[in-house]
Amino acid sequence: MGLATRLTDALPLEYPIIQAPIGSATSPELATAVADAGGLGMLAVTWRESDAARDALEQAIADADGPIGANVVLDPDAGGDDLATLIDACLDADPALLHLSFGDPAPSVERIHDRDVLVAGTVGSASEARAAADAGVDIVVAQGWEAGGHVQGDVATMPLVPAVVDAVPEIPVVAAGGIGDGRGIAAALVLGADGAMLGTRFVATMEAAAHDRYVDRVAEADATETVYGEPYDGGWPGQPHRTLENGTTERWEAAGRPRDGKPGEDDIVAHGGDGEPIRRYDDALATPDVDGAIEEVPLYAGQSTELVEERRPAAEVVADLVAEARDAAARFE
């Protein structure tokens, strides 16, 4: 099984591997390293001012030999700049792909196509995939329930991907969620996907803007140590997410997973790099400049955490993913 697919043709890319948008843990350095290694590097720009988003994207695009994409979260409850302003700022940098998630992509597709940029949309079901394709999206990302970070649907990757492939045969499908090594990439391709998007795996890279203590937990944790639900709804309510078990999720679960009146909800557990307090249930990713009880803030990770053993340079990760995918595919030759 070769690794050339409709996705590698469309972008174009050397390998059908996408570094997922991993919120504030994305950095121009990470995106550049992945792009230089033959994958698609991505910046998640939702929590940056529009000007800063454009600057970061321009920097990554200028530094990289390969393609760079940007992710914008559409849900207005996620916060961030005005959507059209943010999308226009990204388009000014001329990325290879604009990836929209957590909302209806339809109203934004024409704006992006007018600037000759490809649009990808995350979906959590086959019917969402069909609607996205009908709206003109060029690529769908099928995100399974085992994914890390915020999770769009409640179907696991294994049944979701073939259902989405059947629902949108005319466009490339990218599998996301639960893929931690090259065997998972080969499996996604066997299911009919044209590529794989990995998030948790790339949190544990040298170039990711992730605090050491967060990455240590990702490297140590087993698949059984993630929690899916809505504990960390401060700043982005109403969207389930998957994080590693910690003191905060244990207290929340022991109290019956409450929506209101969560135990210790007024605790200030850490401070951001800007000095802003981080409360116990805030949606605040542990970037290296966060100071305080790192183990209490949301340690976003998927069940693929089981397959992540250590923090490594992103280029090495991509090279290993490719070699492992080829080895796995060779079993069928």
Ligand X SMILES: Cc1cc2nc3c(=O)[nH]c(=O)nc-3n(C[C@H](O)[C@H](O)[C@H](O)COP(=O)(O)O)c2cc1C
Q: What residue ranges bind ligand X (CB under 6 A)?
A: 20-23, 25, 44, 46, 71, 73, 101, 122, 143, 147-150, 176-179, 197-201, 203, 285, 300-302, 304
Residue type, 54: R
Query: 44 or 221: whose CB is closer to ligand X?
Result: 44
Tokens of 154: 């409640």
In the complex, which residue's CB is closest to ligand X?
199
Task: Count CB neighbours of 274 within 10 A.
Answer: 6
Q: How far is the CB of 4 from ligand X (least distance, A)?
A: 22
* Min dist. Cβ of residue 177 to ligand X (A): 4
Query: Nearest distance from residue 313's CB to ligand X, in Å?
Result: 18
**Which CB sits closer to ligand X, 206 or 263?**
206
Q: Cβ closer to ligand X: 44 or 321? A: 44
- Which residues are 271's β-sheet partners? 277, 291
How many CA atoms within 13 Å lie on the side-chain side of 86? 23
What is the number of helices (H) and of strands (E) in the chain?
Answer: 12, 14
Q: Please identify, using beta-carbon distances, which residue of 37 and 73 lies nearer to ligand X.
A: 73
Least separation in angstroms between CB 53 and ligand X? 12
Q: Are the C-beta atoms of 20 and 197 separated by less than 8 Å?
A: yes
Is residue 111 within 8 Å of residue 72, measured between CB atoms?
Answer: no
Between 212 and 330, whose beta carbon lies closer to ligand X?
212
Distance from the first to the final alpha carbon of the chain: 7
Query: Two tokens at 204?
Result: 């544990």
Q: How far is the CB of 304 from ligand X (least distance, A)?
A: 4
CA 73 – CA 23 distance, rounded (Å): 10
